[in-house]
Amino acid sequence: MSDSRNAEAAPPPAAGVEVFSYGPYEVVRVNLWVAGEWYRGVVVAHYDAPDGGRAYRLALWPRPDIAPHGWYWWDERRMTRRDYRRPRD
């Protein structure tokens, strides 16, 4: 039985797709429901799909040893995001 709250997994970016990687001072946190549990994720990278969707590569907590790290499609109905990146001058 699938849980309709689960974040949708995204495929890794195809060859030639531009991927933006986040640095240590560019912290964007995402909360999402995956595999029946709430996780707090930190964005490692993102890419934009041709259809306008955005996929985030997330490192997930609180159990990083077994958390389902990976690519997830952004969905504002199923996820919350807090952007702690420092403004660029």
Domain range for 77: 19-83
Does 46 map to a domain? yes
Number of domains observed in the structure of the chain: 1
Q: Rounded to an integer, what is the distance from CA 13 to the centroid of its chain? A: 13
Q: Is 39 exposed, middle or buried (0-12, 13-18, 19+ CB in 10 A)?
A: buried
Here the tokens at position 43 are 């964005």
What is the pLDDT, as a whole number, of residue 88? Answer: 65
Mean pLDDT, range 78-85, rounded to an integer: 88
Entry pTM:
0.85
| Distances, alpha carbon 26 to alpha carbons 8, 80, 88, in Å | 24, 17, 10
The enclosing domain of 59 has a CATH number of 2.30.30
Q: Is 33 exposed, middle or buried (0-12, 13-18, 19+ CB in 10 A)?
A: middle
Report pLDDT digits (tens) over 1-48: 467 889 999 999 999 999 999 988 889 999 999 888 899 999 999 999
Does 32 map to a domain? yes
Does 41 map to a domain? yes
- pLDDT tier at 86, thresholds 50, 70, 90: confident
